[in-house]
């Protein structure tokens, strides 16, 4: 039963990283695009992501619920020591969500659109950075777990662990990953000029991603971040990374050819490979503190709870996945030939 729960934990984690990430990415692309491209990106992201963007973010809620039900000890540590970045993430999610809906559902289209647009773009960029930083903090080895709160300063316990160069790099890496996924996804949803634009962006973001990834590993190596050291000495992780590097070649080819199906699959596989590589080397010790490594399974909930949760997840999955699949199929397949004007009114 524990394996079922673990499966769903990582399933929702990966899906959030991928789908939620693509969602953030659409905003990031908009932020860094030229004014003309901004307009295209805006309309396309509404049409493609609109029906599913809400669903994408529920994976985060599912993940949180699984963590607190099944891994309360682990959840407890995250919630105490990463309080501040989570406040920022929540702020980002809130502003982003409302900006998205406001800009598309405001009955009057006027100057306030400018505000909604910038709110949406900036929070799309900031939120994944903080998400990445939180993850970076968990593996960065700077968290101090203590009962003696008076013995340390506020900064040492609640700020330093998540605000340092390493976590910033992880944050940037994730934000770039988001932009990469979104542009690759959107290639398949567009035609003509817009498609060229996304192909170009996708290629650029891939390059940027590889560069930041290398800097991240190099930085981790030289400052002896344990997670990185273990990661680059673990044969399976290395294998996964090498595989994903090799896959870059067909990915680039398919992006150049604007092949929607292949570029999407390849991009998805690559991201999963990288994540897998990162987590595999350390599983189940996914919190690394200054003192010790904390296992996900430390303080795992009792068997009855785990079995109950597993059953709920299976039932939930059986209800949800077909519906979700149907939703994506219904709307992703709809061709984009309708006029812009049509798209503006729901």
Partner 1 sequence: MENVDFARLQMAFTLGFHIIFACIGMVMPFFMVVSHKKWLNTRNPLYLELTKAWQKGVAIFFVTGAVSGTALSFELGMLWPEFMKHAGPIIGMPFSLEGAAFFVEAIALGFYLYGWDKLPEKFHWFTGIIIGLSGVASGILVVSANGWMNAPSGFDYINGEFTNIDPVQAFLNPAWFTQALHMTLAAFVATSFAVAGVHAYQIYKGRRIELHKKAFKIAIVFGAVAAILQPISGDLSAKDIAKRQPVKLAAMEAHYETQKGAPLFIGGIVNEKEKEVNYKIEIPGALSFLAFGDFDAEVKGLNAFPQDELPPVAIVHYAFQIMVGLGTLLMLSGLFYFLSTRKKHWQSKKKYWLFFTFLAPLGFIALEAGWVVTEVGRQPWIIHKIMRTKDAVTPMPGMEFSFYMYVLVYVTLAITVTWLMRRQIKVLNASKY
Instruction: From 1, 9, 4, 8, select the one nearest 296 (Cα to Cα).
Output: 9
Q: Name residues contacting partner 1, limited to 96-115 (CB under 8 A).
A: 97-98, 100-102, 105-108
Size of the site for partner 1 (CB under 8 A): 62
Rounded least distance, CB 326 to partner 1, Å: 8
Q: Of these partners, ligand HEM, partner 1, none, which one is at the site of residue 7 (CB under 5 to 8 Å by kind)?
A: none
Q: Which of 93, 103, 95 is nearest to 60 (CA)?
A: 93
Q: In the bound complex, what is the minimum distance in angstroms from residue 50's beta carbon to ligand HEM?
A: 15
Nearer to ligand HEM, 61 or 249 (CB): 61
Of 261 and 345, nearer to partner 1 (C-beta) is 345
Which residue, judged by CB position, is nearest to ligand HEM in the bound state?
61
DSSP assignment string, 108-155: S-STHHHHHHHHHHHHHHHHHHHHHHHHHHHHTT-B---S-GGGS-HI
The verdict on 90 binding ligand HEM (CB under 6 A) reads no
Token look-up 């809620």 returns: 61
> 142 with 161: CB under 8 angstroms?
yes
Q: Using CB under 8 A, which of 290, 331, 332, 336 touches partner 1?
A: 331
Of residues 159 and 215, the one with the C-beta less far from partner 1? 159
CA quadruple 207, 332, 60, 94: dihedral positive or negative?
A: positive
- x/- mask, partner 1, residues 56-95, rule CB under 8 A, reads -xx-xxx-xxx-xxx-xx-xx-xxx--x--xx--xx-xx-
**Residue 38 CA: distances (Å) to CA of 42, 59, 121, 124, 334:** 6, 28, 10, 14, 22
Among the listed residues 276, 273, 277, 270, the one whose alpha carbon sits nearest the alpha carbon of residue 232:
277
Tokens of 258: 């604007």
Q: CA-CA distance, 89 to 107, in Å (whole number)?
A: 29
Binding mask 32-71 for ligand HEM (x = CB under 6 A): --------------------------x--x----------
* Contact between 300 and 70 (Cβ < 8 Å): yes
Can you give the binding site for partner 1, defined by CB under 8 A?
50-52, 54-55, 57-58, 60-62, 64-66, 68-70, 72-73, 75-76, 78-80, 83, 86-87, 90-91, 93-94, 97-98, 100-102, 105-108, 149, 154, 158, 299, 301-302, 304-305, 308-309, 312-313, 315-316, 319-320, 323-324, 327, 330-331, 334, 346
Can you give the binding site for ligand HEM, defined by CB under 6 A?
58, 61
């Amino acid at each position: 039963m524990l394996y079922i729960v673990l499966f769903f934990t990582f399933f929702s984690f990966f899906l959030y990283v991928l789908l939620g990430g693509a969602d953030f990415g659409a905003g990031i692309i908009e932020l860094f695009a030229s004014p003309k491209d901004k307009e295209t990106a805006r309309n396309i992201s509404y049409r493609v992501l609109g029906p599913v963007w809400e669903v994408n973010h529920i994976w985060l809620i599912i993940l949180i619920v699984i963590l607190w039900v099944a891994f309360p000890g682990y959840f407890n540590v995250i919630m105490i020591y990463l309080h501040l970045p989570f406040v920022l993430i929540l702020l980002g999610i809130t502003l982003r969500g409302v900006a998205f809906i406001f800009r598309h559902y405001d009955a009057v289209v006027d100057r306030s659109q400018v505000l909604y647009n910038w709110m949406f773009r900036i929070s799309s960029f900031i939120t994944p950075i903080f998400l990445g930083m939180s993850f970076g903090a968990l593996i960065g080895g700077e968290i101090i777990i203590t009962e003696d709160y008076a013995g340390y300063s506020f900064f040492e316990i609640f700020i330093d662990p998540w605000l340092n160069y390493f976590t910033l790099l992880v944050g940037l890496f994730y934000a770039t990953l988001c932009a990469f996924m979104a542009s690759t996804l959107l290639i398949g949803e567009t035609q003509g000029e817009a498609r060229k634009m996304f192909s170009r962006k996708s290629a650029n973001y891939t390059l940027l991603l590889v560069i930041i990834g290398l800097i991240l590993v190099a930085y981790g190596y030289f400052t002896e971040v344990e997670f990185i050291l273990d990661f680059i000495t673990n044969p399976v992780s290395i294998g996964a990374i090498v595989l994903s590097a090799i896959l870059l070649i067909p990915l680039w080819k398919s992006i150049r050819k604007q092949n929607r199906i292949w570029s999407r699959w390849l991009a998805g596989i690559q991201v999963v490979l990288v994540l897998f590589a990162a987590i595999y080397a350390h599983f189940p010790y996914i919190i690394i503190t200054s003192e010790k490594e904390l296992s996900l399974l430390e303080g795992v909930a009792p068997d009855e709870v785990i079995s109950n949760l597993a059953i709920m997840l299976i039932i939930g999955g059986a209800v949800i996945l077909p519906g979700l699949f149907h939703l994506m199929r219904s709307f992703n397949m709809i061709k984009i030939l309708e006029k812009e004007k049509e798209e503006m009114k729901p």
